[in-house]
C-alpha cells in the first residue's frame, strides 16, 4: 500500500536500508553482529595484536610451559591467559587460532556455496535425468555423517589448511545444492523466467542472471549456519588430531592439548580456546538467525 | 542349618581369593597369539596365560620358569631341564614335545608384523633327550640364549598347528600360566580367569578384566571413579596430584625403554624430508655427517624435556639403557645442552642454517611422544635447523618408518632381553634380514667397526668380557658416531586403588598375578 502513497514516507527507503533497519531491530542480533565484527577484526589483525608469534618455534621457551594466567616467565614475558605444555602464549595462540578457524570456515563456505548453488540451480533448471542424478548424489552424500566423511578424506589427503578446506567443501556442498534446487524450483515456475525464455535468452544466461540471483537469499541463510558448522567441524577434526600440524595449533587442537591437563587442574589450556570457539559460533548463529528472519518474506512484519 | 555350617566351614578352608580385578591398559592388545606380534602390550597379556622357559623378575634378572635349570654343555650346546608336574589348562602334562613344537612354530607364523624369530634364529637344532630334558644346539657360540628364551612363550604341541585367528577366538589358547583365557574383544577388553590348578602361587583374583582405555585422562578418571582398580601408564600431568590422593597408590621405576631420535644416515642424497632453508627438497643429506648428528644432540636440552614435558617422570639418557644394566657404557653421560657448541659443529660440517627437517613421531605409543617431538622441534629450530613435526598413530608410523619413508624420527626401544645387546643389534647394527640385525634401524646407520664389535660380543661366552665389548660398541656407535640420539629413559608408573600393591617392573609389563592385596 505504501508504494501507492509515496508522499507519506518521509525518507527515501532503499531495500538495503530497510534490510539494515530490520536486521538491527533485534538487540540480540545487534549484539551478535558486534561480537562477530570484533572477532573478525581481532583475527584479521592477530599478527599485530598478539604479544607473541605462537607458530614460531624458535620463540617458544619450554621452561615457560604450563604457566597459569597472569604468571611471568623466566625471560620476563608475562602471559595474560597462561601458557600451554610447550610454553606457547595462550592469548596469542587463541588469536591465531581464530584466524585459522574463520579462514577455514569462510573459504570452505564460499567454495561449497558456489559449487552447491551451481549444481542445485542447474539440476532445477535442467530437470529430468540430470536432476534425478544430481539429487540422488546429494541424498547419498547427506546420508553419511559429515564427520565420518571428513575423517576419511583427511586420512587420505593428509595434513594442511588446504586439505581441511577440501574436506569441508566435500562435506558441505550438498546442503547448498539441495537448498539452491528447491529455491530455483520455486523461481522456475514464475512468469519472469517464462518471459526470459520467450525472449529467447540462452539457458546459461537465464540460470546465471535471473534464476541464481533470485534463489540467493535462502542460500545466504544456509551459508551462515554452514560456516558456523564448518568452524565447529574443523575444531572437531583438529581435536581428534587430524587436520593441522601440531606446531601450528588451531582452536580445536588447543582444546585437545589442554584436555590432558584438565584433570590436574590446569584448566586454562582448554578453557579459553573453548570460550573463543563458543563465542565465534554463537555470534555467527545469532547473525544467521536474524538474517533468516529478515530475508524470509513469510516472516516479514 | 547344617548346610550353613558346612558352607561357613568351606569358606574358612579356602584361602582368600578376591572376586575380580579390573585393569585399565593404555595401549590396545592386538592379538591373543603369543607368537604373532612382538609388542609389549601383547607380551604382557601373554605372560598371564603362557610361560617362558626362563623367567624374568621385576628387574629382568633371569629366574627359572618352565625350565628348572639350564646349563651350557659346551660353547654351542645347552641342556635345559624342564619343570615336572606342570599341566596345561586343558589338563594334559607339559613335556619336552611342547618346547620343540613351539620352536618350530615361531618362524612360521604367517603375516607376523613383528616376529619372535630373531630369538629362535640362533638355534640350529633342538631335540628331547627325555620327556623333561631339551638339548639345544646353536649355530655359533650364543651366550645370550637364556635371555632369548625369556621372550619365547611355550604353547602346547596340540595347538601348534592352529593359526592366529584360532588364538584370537580363544579356541587355541591353552597355556600353563596362572590365568586361563576368558574372552578377547579386539580394541576393547581381555578377560582372564584364575587357573586354580597352577603349580605356583595361587592367583589372588578369580577373574581379571583388562580394559583398553587409550585416552590417558579417561584412564585416570576410571581409576578415581572405581571402574578399574589399577591402571598402567599414569599420565605425567596427573602424577603430582595422584601422589597426594589417599584413594590411590602409585608405583614407578625407571624402565628399560629409551626414547631416541633416529636420523637417515643411509641415503647419500635425496633424503625424503631433508629440505633447504626455504623448505624445498635438498639433494645433499647433511644427516650422514656425524658432526651434524652430534650438533643436533647438543641442541637438545634433555633436562628441560624431563622436567617440563615429562614433569620429572623421565631420566635424561646418554645411551640405550640405564647404567645398571649389563653391557652398558660407563663413559657415556647425557649430552650436555650446548647450543654454542652445536653452532660451531654445524658450521664446521658446512651446514650452518642451510637445511630444515621434518620430525616424524607416533602420537599414541610412548609417554608424551608427540609433545617430546614438539619440544625437540623447538630446540632445533632455535639452533638453526627449522623443524616441523608430523605426528601419526603408531600403526601408520611404524609401517611407514620401516619402509624408510622418514628422514628424522622419534621412537623408543625397550630391551626385551634385559641387557645392552638388544638395542645395539636392533638400532645401530647394519640392517641385515638374514642375521636379524638392524630390525628397527630405521635410519640405516651402518658402521663396520660397530658391527664387528657387536658380533664378537654376541659370541663371547664370558659375561664380563661380553659386557665390556658391548659397552665399547655403545661408546663408538653413540659417543663417537651419534648413530642415534638418546633422549631419556621412560619412568613407568602404575596406579592402584588403596589396598592393592604392585611392584613396578622395568620391562613395563602389567601383570595381574603380581598384584598383591595389602590388607
pLDDT (tens digit per residue) in B73-91: 999 999 999 999 999 999 9
User: What pLDDT, on the 0 to 100 scale, is given for residue B158?
Assistant: 94
Residues of B at the A interface (Cβ-Cβ below 8 Å)? 216-217, 220-221, 235, 237-238, 240-241, 301, 304-305, 308-309, 363, 370-371, 374-375, 377-379, 381-382, 386-391
Contacts of A62 in chain B (CB under 8 A): 301, 304-305, 308-309, 375, 378-379
User: What pLDDT, on the 0 to 100 scale, is given for residue A260?
Assistant: 83
Nearest to B47 by CA among B231, B212, B210, B177: B177
Q: Which of B220, B305, B363 sits opposite A241 (nearest CB)?
A: B363
pLDDT at residue B159 is higher than 90: yes
A260 with B305: Cβ contact below 8 A? no
Average pLDDT taken over every residue of chain B: 92
The predicted model gives B226-240 an average pLDDT of 94
Contacts of B389 in chain A (CB under 8 A): 245-247
Would an 8 Å CB–CB cutoff place A85 in contact with chain B? yes
pLDDT (tens digit per residue) in A156-181: 888 888 999 999 999 999 999 999 99
Under 8 Å between Cβ of A234 and A166: no
The predicted model gives B305-327 an average pLDDT of 94
Worst-scoring range by mean pLDDT, B79-83, B161-165, B260-264, B434-438? Answer: B434-438
Percent of chain A with pLDDT over 70: 94
Model confidence at B417, pLDDT cuts 50, 70, 90, reads confident
Task: Report the chain B residue with the minimal C-alpha distance to residue A260.
Answer: B217
User: What pLDDT, on the 0 to 100 scale, is given for residue A262?
Assistant: 85
pTM: 0.85
Average pLDDT taken over every residue of chain A: 88
Under 8 Å between Cβ of A174 and A142: yes
| CA distances in angstroms from A112 to A142, B364, B480, listed in the order given | 14, 34, 57
pLDDT (tens digit per residue) in B217-232: 899 999 999 999 999 9
User: What pLDDT, on the 0 to 100 scale, is given for residue B14?
Assistant: 47
Contacts of B337 in chain A (CB under 8 A): none
pLDDT (tens digit per residue) in A26-73: 999 999 999 999 999 999 999 999 998 998 888 888 888 888 898 888
User: What pLDDT, on the 0 to 100 scale, is given for residue A70?
Assistant: 87
pLDDT (tens digit per residue) in A241-297: 787 888 888 899 999 888 888 888 889 999 999 999 999 999 999 999 999 888 876
Q: How far apart are CA A218 and CA A291, in angstroms?
A: 9
pLDDT at residue B2 is higher than 70: no
Under 8 Å between Cβ of B22 and B209: yes
Shortest distance between the Cα of B66 and any Cα of chain A, in A, equals 42
The predicted model gives B110-133 an average pLDDT of 91
ipTM of the complex: 0.79
User: What pLDDT, on the 0 to 100 scale, is given for residue B13?
Assistant: 43
Would an 8 Å CB–CB cutoff place A265 in contact with chain B? yes
The predicted model gives B329-349 an average pLDDT of 95
pLDDT at residue A13 is higher than 60: yes
Would an 8 Å CB–CB cutoff place A163 in contact with chain B? no
pLDDT at residue B5 is higher than 70: no
Count CB atoms within 10 A of the CB of residue B249: 18
Task: Report the chain A residue with the minimal C-alpha distance to residue B224.
Answer: A263
B378 with A58: Cβ contact below 8 A? yes
**Mutant choice from B235, B378, B383, B389 vs A, greatest count of A C-beta within 10 A:** B378
Q: How far apart are CA A185 and CA A202, in angstroms?
A: 18
A263 with B391: Cβ contact below 8 A? no
Q: How far apart are CA B386 and CA B508, in angstroms?
A: 35
The predicted model gives A7-21 an average pLDDT of 73
Under 8 Å between Cβ of B421 and B321: no
User: What pLDDT, on the 0 to 100 scale, is given for residue B1?
Assistant: 45
Would an 8 Å CB–CB cutoff place A54 in contact with chain B? no
Alpha carbon of residue B329 to chain centroid: 20
Q: Which of A62, A86, A263 sits opposite B220 (nearest CB)?
A: A263
User: What pLDDT, on the 0 to 100 scale, is given for residue A78?
Assistant: 83
Domains and CATH numbers, chain B: 14-212 (3.40.190.10), 255-491 (3.10.105.10)
pLDDT (tens digit per residue) in A79-95: 999 999 889 999 999 99
Model confidence at A11, pLDDT cuts 50, 70, 90, reads low
Amino acid at each position: 500500500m505504501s508504494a501507492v502513497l509515496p508522499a507519506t514516507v518521509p525518507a527515501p527507503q532503499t531495500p538495503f536500508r530497510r534490510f539494515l533497519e530490520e536486521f538491527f531491530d533485534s538487540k540480540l542480533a545487534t549484539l551478535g553482529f558486534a561480537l562477530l565484527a570484533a572477532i573478525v577484526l581481532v583475527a584479521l589483525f592477530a599478527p599485530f595484536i598478539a604479544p607473541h608469534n605462537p607458530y614460531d618455534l624458535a620463540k617458544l621457551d619450554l621452561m615457560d610451559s604450563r604457566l597459569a594466567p597472569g604468571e611471568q616467565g623466566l625471560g620476563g614475558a608475562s602471559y595474560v591467559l597462561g601458557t600451554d605444555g610447550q610454553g606457547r602464549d595462550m592469548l596469542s595462540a587463541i588469536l591465531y587460532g581464530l584466524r585459522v578457524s574463520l579462514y577455514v570456515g569462510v573459504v570452505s563456505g564460499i567454495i561449497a556455496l558456489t559449487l552447491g548453488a551451481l549444481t542445485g540451480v542447474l539440476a532445477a533448471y535442467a530437470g529430468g535425468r540430470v536432476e534425478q542424478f544430481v539429487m540422488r548424489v546429494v541424498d547419498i552424500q547427506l546420508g553419511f555423517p559429515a564427520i565420518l566423511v571428513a575423517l576419511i578424506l583427511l586420512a587420505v589427503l593428509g595434513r594442511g589448511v588446504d586439505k581441511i578446506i577440501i574436506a569441508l567443501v566435500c562435506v558441505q556442498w550438498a546442503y547448498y545444492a539441495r537448498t539452491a534446487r528447491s529455491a530455483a524450483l520455486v523461481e522456475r515456475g514464475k512468469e519472469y523466467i517464462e518471459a526470459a525464455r520467450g525472449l529467447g535468452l540462452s539457458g546459461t544466461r537465464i540460470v546465471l542472471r535471473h534464476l541464481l540471483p533470485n534463489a540467493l537469499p535462502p542460500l545466504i541463510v544456509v551459508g551462515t549456519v554452514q560456516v558456523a558448522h564448518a568452524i565447529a567441524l574443523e575444531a572437531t577434526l583438529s581435536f581428534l588430531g587430524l587436520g593441522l600440524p601440531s606446531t601450528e595449533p588451531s582452536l580445536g587442537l588447543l582444546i585437545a592439548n589442554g584436555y590432558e591437563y584438565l584433570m590436574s587442574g590446569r584448566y586454562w589450556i582448554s578453557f579459553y580456546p573453548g570460550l573463543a570457539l563458543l563465542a565465534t559460533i554463537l555470534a555467527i548463529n545469532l547473525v544467521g538467525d536474524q538474517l533468516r528472519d529478515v530475508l524470509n518474506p513469510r516472516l516479514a512484519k | 542349618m547344617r548346610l550353613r555350617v558346612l558352607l561357613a566351614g568351606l569358606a574358612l578352608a579356602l584361602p582368600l581369593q578376591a572376586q575380580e580385578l579390573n585393569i585399565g591398559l593404555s595401549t590396545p592388545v592386538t592379538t591373543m597369539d603369543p607368537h604373532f606380534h612382538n609388542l609389549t602390550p601383547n607380551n604382557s597379556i601373554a605372560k598371564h596365560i603362557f610361560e617362558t622357559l626362563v623367567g624374568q623378575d621385576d628387574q629382568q634378572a633371569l629366574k627359572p620358569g618352565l625350565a628348572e635349570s639350564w646349563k651350557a654343555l659346551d660353547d654351542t650346546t645347552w641342556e635345559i631341564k624342564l619343570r615336572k608336574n606342570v599341566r596345561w589348562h586343558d589338563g594334559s602334562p607339559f613335556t619336552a614335545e611342547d618346547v620343540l613344537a613351539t620352536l618350530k612354530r615361531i618362524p612360521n607364523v604367517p603375516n607376523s608384523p613383528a616376529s619372535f624369530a630373531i630369538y629362535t634364529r640362533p638355534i640350529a637344532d633342538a631335540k628331547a633327550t627325555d620327556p623333561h630334558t631339551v638339548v639345544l644346539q646353536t649355530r655359533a657360540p650364543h651366550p645370550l640364549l637364556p635371555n632369548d628364551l625369556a621372550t619365547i612363550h611355550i604353547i602346547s604341541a596340540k595347538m601348534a598347528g592352529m593359526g592366529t585367528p584360532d588364538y584370537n577366538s580363544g579356541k587355541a589358547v591353552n597355556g600353563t600360566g596362572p590365568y586361563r583365557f576368558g574372552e578377547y574383544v579386539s580394541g576393547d577388553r581381555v578377560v582372564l580367569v584364575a587357573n586354580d590348578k597352577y603349580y605356583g602361587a595361587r592367583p589372588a583374583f578369580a577373574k581379571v578384566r583388562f580394559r583398553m582405555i587409550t585416552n590417558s585422562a579417561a584412564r585416570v578418571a576410571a581409576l578415581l571413579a572405581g571402574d578399574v582398580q589399577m591402571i598402567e601408564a599414569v599420565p605425567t600431568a596427573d602424577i603430582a596430584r595422584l601422589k597426594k590422593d589417599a584413594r590411590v597408590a602409585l608405583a614407578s621405576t625407571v624402565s628399560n625403554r629409551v626414547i631416541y631420535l633416529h636420523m637417515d644416515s643411509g641415503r647419500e642424497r635425496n633424503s625424503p624430508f631433508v629440505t633447504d632453508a626455504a623448505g624445498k627438497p635438498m639433494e645433499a643429506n647433511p644427516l650422514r655427517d656425524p658432526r651434524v648428528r652430534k650438533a643436533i644432540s647438543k641442541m637438545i636440552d634433555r633436562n628441560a624435556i624431563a622436567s617440563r614435558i615429562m614433569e620429572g617422570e623421565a631420566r635424561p639418557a646418554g645411551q640405550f639403557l640405564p647404567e645398571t644394566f649389563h653391557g652398558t657404557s660407563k663413559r657415556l653421560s647425557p649430552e650436555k645442552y650446548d647450543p654454542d657448541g652445536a653452532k660451531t659443529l654445524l658450521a664446521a660440517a658446512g651446514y650452518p642454517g642451510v637445511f630444515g627437517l621434518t620430525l616424524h613421531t607416533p602420537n599414541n605409543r610412548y609417554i608424551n611422544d608427540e609433545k617430546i617431538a614438539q619440544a625437540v622441534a623447538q630446540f632445533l629450530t632455535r639452533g638453526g635447523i627449522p623443524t616441523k613435526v608430523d605426528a601419526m598413530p603408531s600403526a601408520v608410523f611404524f609401517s611407514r618408518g620401516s619402509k624408510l619413508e622418514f628422514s628424522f624420527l622419534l621412537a623408543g626401544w625397550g630391551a626385551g632381553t634385559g641387557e645392552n645387546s638388544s638395542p645395539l643389534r636392533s638400532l645401530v647394527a647394519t640392517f641385515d634380514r638374514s642375521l636379524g640385525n638392524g630390525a628397527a634401524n630405521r635410519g640405516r646407520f651402518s658402521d663396520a667397526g660397530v658391527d664387528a664389535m657387536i658380533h664378537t660380543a654376541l659370541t663371547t661366552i664370558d659375561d664380563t668380557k661380553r659386557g665390556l665389548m658391548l659397552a665399547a660398541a655403545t661408546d663408538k656407535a653413540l659417543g663417537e658416531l651419534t648413530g642415534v640420539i638418546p633422549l631419556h629413559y621412560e619412568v613407568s608408573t602404575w596406579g592402584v586403588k588403596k589396598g592393592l600393591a604392585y611392584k613396578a617392573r622395568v620391562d613395563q609389563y602389567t601383570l595381574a598375578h603380581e598384584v598383591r592385596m595389602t590388607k
